[in-house]
Amino acid sequence: MEHITYKTTGVCSRAIHIDIEDGIVQKVEYQGGCSGNTQGVAALVRGMKVEEAIERLSGIRCGFKASSCPDQLSVALREYLASK
């Protein structure tokens, strides 16, 4: 199992902790942010392939912000794939 920590930018959460095993998201935990929303996103992507999570979450915006907590998760996962 691989653990990554991603420092977010432009959103309320400060960081995202992600566990990935065999290309599958096992656990996501946001540090900060809207608790209910971040818990919901974390629960929905559990068991999902990294590529599918990226496809579903990429480009989601929060209000007038350029990004969102789900979008930041997709950025973190893209960086993870690029490092492979």
User: How many angstroms from the chain centroid is the CA of residue 84?
Assistant: 17
**Max CA pair span of the chain:** 36
Kindly report the CATH number assigned to the domain that includes residue 27.
Answer: 3.30.390
Condensed to tens digits (0 to 9), the pLDDT of residues 20-38 reads: 999 999 999 999 999 999 9
The percent of residues in the chain predicted with pLDDT above 70, rounded, is 100
What residue numbers bound the domain in which 73 lies?
Answer: 2-82
Number of domains in the chain: 1
Q: Which pair of tokens denotes residue 18? A: 């992600």
Task: Tell me what pLDDT residue 7 has.
Answer: 98
Predicted TM-score of the model (pTM):
0.96
